[in-house]
Amino acid sequence: MTAPAIELKGISKAFGPVQANKDISISVQPGTIHGIIGENGAGKSTLMSILYGFYKADAGEIFIKGQKTPIPDSQAAISAGIGMVFQHFKLVENFTVLENIILGAEDGAMLNTSLGNARRELKHLADEYGLNVDPDAVIENLSVGHQQRVEILKALYRKAEILILDEPTGVLTPAEADQLFRILDRLREEGKTIILITHKLREIMEYTDTVSVMRRGQMTATVKTKETSPEELAELMVGRKVLLRVDKKPAEPGVTILDVQGLRVVDDAGVERVKGIDLNVRAGEIVGIAGVAGNGQSELLEVLGGYAEGTGTILVNGEPIPLSGHGADGQARRATGVSHVPEDRQREGLIMEFSAWENTVFGYHLEPEIQNGVLMDNKAIYEDAEAKMERFDVRPPDPKLAAKNFSGGNQQKIVLAREIERNPDLLLIGQPTRGVDIGAIEFIHQQIVNLRDQGKAILLVSVELDEIMSLSDRIAVMFDGHIMGERDPALTNEKELGLLMAGITDTSAVAGNGGNDTTEQEVHADG
Amino acid sequence: MDKMPKWADIVLIPLISLLLAAFFSALVILAIGENPIEALKLMIDGALMRSAGWGYTLYYATNFIFTGLAVSVAFHARLFNIGGEGQAMLGGLGVALVCLYIPWPHWSLSILGASVGAALFGALWALIPAYLQAKRGSHIVITTIMFNFIAAALLNYVLVEMLRPVGAMDPASAKFPDATHLPSFQDMFSTAETPMFRGAPANVTFFLALIACVVVWALIWRTRLGYEIRAFGQSETAAKYAGISPVRITVIAMLISGALAGMMSVNTTMGESERLILNSTEGAGFIGIAVALMGRNHPFGVFLAAILFGFLYQGGAELALWTSIPRELIVVIQALVILFTGALDNMVRHPLEKLFIALRRRNA
């Protein structure tokens, strides 16, 4: 057996009282794809930051190809042959691909020689790994998938032998993700070692050779992917059995609650983000909006929630609601029976510095029931918060704790408790489980389905296709501000939705062949 | 989990900062060849050991309570109101107009009238920067600073050209009628046998400042408006989501802030000089920033910090009177206190946080 490409022994790292990594040891063979899976906050990113020299481990050793290699900073990581592709790309938007690639790795004071060398090297890499990118394209004009390729090229240009990818598919369409994994396959064949960090079980099962599971800073298991199952991995991640499917009866839709006609939204920069969409949601059904982030879904929610302006017509319970000016604000929307669980709970849904109990009336703080003369009836609010937190299983159940001190899942439960218990006619819910651990996802999904079964209308926006498919009774796909089509979740599949998400409506032409060159070009042209 | 207990944040950090400031002040005093221990004794003696000293300390503290509260209220909405000085100047104009042109039967009514006048003028002076911030995005720090200069020039003009009595030489208004004379601490607490607070300017406005503390506390932590102000201050995006209008909160918070700053002039203009003079604010608007910083934007903290700064002002005046320590050095000492309690807050905070985390880990 050859020496492992990379081996960690007893890595520990604490941030204050939080033990982010505890005695972690893994060993990855060269020429394999090794997955690291775990919930948010399990310590995956900390571990990779240690490997890339961003953090210094409190204890433990790193071996590269059998050699003990201290990594005090990212320069050391690069020279040890480690390349990192971050979740948020580190590219200079208005530089060309070539300029980005040599940035920080220029040889000599004169740029021209570097650029010339890089161009040759880039062509070589493109041929070898199928990483085709126009070297003279400016980054901001590239699709997200291509930007990610540039990140990979950057690492390879620096002679990376070990490539770490942190949640690489979070921003990609399914087709783009397929292409990425084909590239990774190619890299593996060429003998590169790949570490894939993700929270998506499907990706782990399909593409990795071995997988390590992290939970609460510890490595709970390392197994061969062939010898495990999604259920087993989920259990290892959470520490108990988890229901991966949502349990729900068929919908019994009633009258139309939300009716959107010809809605257009122009953002602050003057760019039209929603380009005339029609959409309706009936009582007792969940309509899911699928789409890659940034295709107008957020703006749609913001206008419905009353904090962005739009043009067109929106009827709630048959009554038109104002889309701009007076009456187009969150207060007015709540008064018409619209509750909203926003996409970004930390920036919108909660005041992070406020205590949990203060947050349980956020947005409803003007309601007469919680006033005591000119003052707010804090005692009543507090007691109500206590009850809400118990019903929604918020942990720890301490209303005095500031919102920022709860985990993502528990923060989301606070928001959900607040919005669902107002008994709205229509619930808008964006990214209900982003950054939420698997255990809490199960609970949150159940709450959404329960609300539907009470005959409420629910509009769900999520970039997680799995979530859309398992929760929705109807799926609308958004691309570039348009609704590309509606599908019945029982009669569609991920591939078809993926093509719609990439803006391709003629699904028969390319069905079964998602992600070939035609697709790629069309994505590029549309994006 | 918070990094350290609340008491450490509220009590320990300001205390350590204060000791550091005192230490460096002592070095400065040593450097010019005076004895720092003697100097401290003199300050305490002059500001705190005699009732007249307290009378000055509390007089200054009254100013600082108002301006400190003004900065605090704005800061809860994440607005940095540096214009307390100008708002207080205009507040003084409000006081003067109310006192000069309305015949008041009794001081208890006139103080109410003067408070309204001061608050109104102060608030209006804050309104323009608030509007510019809310509607046009002009930064409130810049506009409020500029409005301080405009206020000074405006006041100068009004005093010289309009309010100055015929034949008077100095730029000041006529003396207010006797009915507007506010009871000083001397009037209130002296008995025939034991005169108290003799000659000191502290007056009934101090109690008005205490009431303002309570009202501001209730406003910020017990009312809908306070909830909205704090929510907006913490996160504008969240406030929008909740349907809280940024324009409305910006304007209202600044109006309240300006009104509080303006009310400071009830103390100086009505309680002390009993006529409107130039520069009656004496920089109290700026001291309010330090007071708010040190008081953690909490009315009780503002109260304590205001007393401290009142002590520094009065003690400093004593030093200048009895030693060869120049008046400018007092400003240096005050600056050191501001520097350590405000600007260098993190210098003390970070090591302390680490200490508490380490302690907790050992106990766990």
Separation between Cα atoms, residue B205 and residue A238, nearest integer Å = 62
List the single residue in A with minimal CA-CA distance to B357. Answer: A16
Among candidates B223, B224, B238 on the partner chain, residue whose Cβ is nearest the Cβ of A348: B238
Chain A residue numbers with beta carbons less than 8 Å from the beta carbon of B220 are none
pLDDT at A515: 39
Tens of pLDDT, residue by residue over A327-347, are 899 999 999 999 999 999 999
Q: Is ipTM over 0.95?
A: no
pLDDT of residue B285: 93
Contact criterion met (CB below 8 Å) for B349 and B13: yes
Residue that has been written with the tokens 């890299």 in this structure: A187
Whether the per-residue pLDDT at B212 is higher than 90: the answer is yes
Please say if the pLDDT value at position A240 is more than 80: no
* Residue A520 binned pLDDT confidence (cut-offs 50, 70, 90): very low
Strands A210-215, A218-224: parallel, antiparallel or unpaired by DSSP? antiparallel
The class of domain A246-337+424-492 in CATH terms is alpha beta
pLDDT for the residue numbered B97: 96
Residue B166 is given by DSSP the state T
Query: Which of B1, B227, B357 lies at the smallest CB-CB distance from A405?
Result: B1
* Domain ranges, ordered by start, for chain A: 6-238, 246-337+424-492, 348-423
Taking residues A223-242, report their average pLDDT. Answer: 86
pLDDT for the residue A507:
54
Whole-number Cα distances in Å, B201 to A196, B57, B114, B161: 73, 9, 18, 29
C-beta atoms of B241 and A366 within 8 A: no
| Number of cross-chain residue pairs from A and B with Cβ atoms under 8 Å apart | 74
Give the whole-angstrom CA distance, residue A55 versus residue A78: 15
DSSP B105: S
> Is residue B223 less than 8 Å (CB to CB) from chain A?
yes
Residue B168's region, left for phi above 0, alpha for psi from -120 to 50, else beta, is: beta
Closest CA–CA distance from residue A352 to any residue of chain B (Å): 8
| Confidence band of A518 (pLDDT split at 50, 70, 90) | very low
Pairing mode, strands A82-85 and A59-64: unpaired
- Judged by phi (left if over 0) then psi (alpha if -120 to 50, else beta), residue B362 lies in alpha
The DSSP result for B152-165, as a single string, is: HHHHHHIIIIIISP
Q: Which of A347, A358, A363 sits opposite B235 (nearest CB)?
A: A347
**Intra-chain end-to-end CA distance of chain A, in Å:** 47
Best of B75, B237, B241, B244 to substitute, by most chain A Cβ atoms within 10 angstroms, is B241
Which stretch of A303-317, B229-243, B314-328 has the lowest confidence by average pLDDT? Answer: B314-328
Q: Yes or no: say if A60 and A234 are a contact pair by the CB < 8 Å rule.
A: no
pLDDT above 60 for A476? yes
B222 touches chain A (CB under 8 A): yes
Cβ atoms of A287 and A460 closer than 8 Å: yes
pLDDT band at A509 (very low <50, low <70, confident <90, very high): very low
CA distance B84 to B325: 30
Mean local confidence (pLDDT), B313-341:
84
- What residues 235-254 of chain B have any CB closer than 8 A to a CB of chain A? 235, 237-238, 240-245
Name the band, by pLDDT with cuts 50, 70 and 90, for residue A238: confident
**CB-based contact A307 B241, cutoff 8 Å:** yes
Token pair recorded at residue A216: 């609460």
The crossing angle, in degrees rounded to 10, of helices B284-294 and B84-101 is 120
Averaged pLDDT for residues A4-18: 86
List, in sequence order, every beta strand (DSSP E) within A199-293: 210-215, 218-224, 256-266, 272-282, 286-290
B278 and B326 Cβ atoms separated by less than 8 Å: no
| Predicted confidence (pLDDT) per residue in B217-232, tens digit | 999 999 999 999 999 9
Give the pLDDT band of residue B338 (cuts 50, 70, 90).
confident
Strand partners, A477: A290, A485
Q: What is the pTM of this model?
A: 0.81
DSSP, res A103: T
> A458 — phi, psi (to 5°)?
-130, 125
Structure tokens at A113: 């020689």
User: Does the CB of B2 have a partner CB in chain A at under 8 Å?
Assistant: yes
List CB contacts (< 8 A) between A362 and chain B. 231, 238, 242
d(CA B231, CA B221): 11
In the prediction, which pLDDT does A511 show?
A: 43
Q: For position A525, what pLDDT does the model report?
A: 37
Q: How far is CA A365 from the centre of its chain?
A: 31
Structure confidence at residue A405 (pLDDT): 85
| A16 to chain B: closest CA residue | B357
The pLDDT value recorded for residue A524 is 40
pLDDT at A508 over 70: no
CA distance A374 to chain B (A): 7
List, as one string, the DSSP characters of B179-212: GGPPPBHHHHH--SSS--STT---BTHHHHHHHH
Of A332, A348, A376, the CB nearest to B224: A376
Cα–Cα distance for residue pair A292/A358, rounded to 1 Å: 34
pLDDT number for residue A1: 57
- Give the closest-approach CA distance of A351 to chain B in angstroms: 6
Identity of the residue in B237, B243, B361 whose CB atom sits nearest the CB atom of A363: B243
Question: What is the DSSP code (8-state) at residue A518?
Answer: H
Range with lowest mean pLDDT among A33-47, A52-66, A285-299, A503-517: A503-517
**A369-416 pLDDT per residue, tens:** 999 999 999 999 999 999 999 999 998 899 999 998 888 889 999 999
Is the minimum CB–CB distance between B106 and chain A shorter than 8 Å?
no
> Exposure of A368 by Cβ count < 10 A (0-12 exposed, 13-18 middle, 19+ buried)?
exposed
Burial class (CB in 10 A: 0-12, 13-18, 19+), A256: middle
Categorize the per-residue pLDDT at B2 as very low, low, confident or very high, splitting at 50, 70 and 90: low
Q: Which tens digit of pLDDT belongs to each residue from B156-209?
A: 999 999 999 988 888 999 999 999 999 999 999 988 888 888 889 999 999 999
Q: Is the pLDDT of residue A144 over 60?
A: yes
B364 confidence band (pLDDT: 50, 70, 90) = low
The CATH code that applies to domain A6-238 is: 3.40.50.300
